[in-house]
Amino acid sequence: MKRREFMVSGAALVAGTLVARSAAAAPGPVEEKGSALMPPANQRIKTLTIKNIVIGEGQPKLIVPTTAKNSADALAAVKNYAGNPAIQLVELRLDTLADEPDNAALAALTRQAYALLPAQALLVTFRTRAEGGNRALSDEAYAALCEDIITHGKADLLDIEMFRGEARVKALVEKAHRAGIAVVMSSHDFHQTPPNEEIINRLRHQQALGADVLKLAAMPQDSGDVLRLMSATWEVYSRYAERPLLTMAMSGTGVVSRLAGELTGSALTFGMVGQASAPGQIEAEDLNAVLKIIHQANQG
């Protein structure tokens, strides 16, 4: 066995072991299928289909973000990701652009990026500093940017931060839906992993606000935090979710949460090509190999 294959197989084994421990502690029924530990069937969960990419069933879909500091490099990255069979979604990160284009220029950039991705989904994100991003925006300026992207830009999915005022967030979700854009609603905690009840409540509130994908990322202090996040994801998936989930524990400690979404109910995961956009991301090629191993094991 080659060194890389050995490493990937080992990572998959660790993922399966840790998820089994997490699931054993989590509420809800467990279904055995062969030797693989599987999530319960939740008939409430709706899949999200974009460009023949079905989010919410089978192997978690892989998102790779851009990290470029100018628009030309961002488009070059999107072009590089286009057509890569390992990558189902490309995230265009607008907050990393150091030249700080105005809203009109950013909307135009989303249209250019969208045109490069005929078969992959484009997720557009402006991550504010309050949520771990590179630039600070007031709630009003953030909403205005999202509205300009919705109205004048082009995207399959738009990331909307949940803590931007409930009325403001609801209005943005409604505008995005009228424009045919799905919403990934997000919450990030770069300092800690919230208690399980808080994790569950945030994800359920995102659903109540109309999100199409429910997203939460947190920073673990130890392995126990990672398992708690995975357990809380399982609980939301098995008891409450009507939308696909996207959860992750950040940093190297949390890497297993990026591998094992198919077992906990997390339908998407982030990888990287080159520079990471968040702590703990794995190279897309390696991540995709582990996702395939776990998926194939679940079919046995």
105 neighbors 251 (Cβ within 8 angstroms): no
Q: Is 206 annotated as a binding residue?
A: no
| H runs (alpha helix) in the chain | 3-25, 71-81, 103-115, 139-152, 166-178, 196-208, 223-235, 255-259, 261-264, 284-298
Buried b (16+ CB within 10 A) or exposed e, 115-150: ebbeebbbbbbbbbeebbbbeebeeeebbebbbbbb
Q: Is 4 annotated as a binding residue?
A: no
Q: How far is CA 20 from CA 30, 66, 252, in A?
A: 10, 33, 20
Beta bridge partners, 37, equal 32
Q: Is 9 annotated as a binding residue?
A: no
Using CA atoms, how far apart are residues 86 and 32, in angstroms rounded to an integer?
28
Has 295 been annotated as catalytic?
no
Q: Is 93 annotated as a binding residue?
A: yes
Q: Is 129 annotated as a binding residue?
A: no
Has 2 been annotated as catalytic?
no
Query: Any idea of the CA torsion for 103, 108, 113, 116, to the nearest 10 degrees?
Result: 170
Q: Is 166 annotated as a binding residue?
A: no
Cα 214 to its chain centre, rounded Å, is: 8
Half-sphere exposure of 29 toward its Cβ, with a 13 Å CA cutoff? 5
Q: Which of 51, 188, 191, 205 is catalytic?
A: 188
Q: Is 277 annotated as a binding residue?
A: yes
List phi, psi (to 5°) of 7. Answer: -65, -45
User: Which residues belong to the annotated binding site for 3-dehydroquinate?
Assistant: 91-93, 127, 258, 277, 281
Which sequence positions are flagged as catalytic? 188, 215
User: Which residues belong to the annotated binding site?
Assistant: 91-93, 127, 258, 277, 281
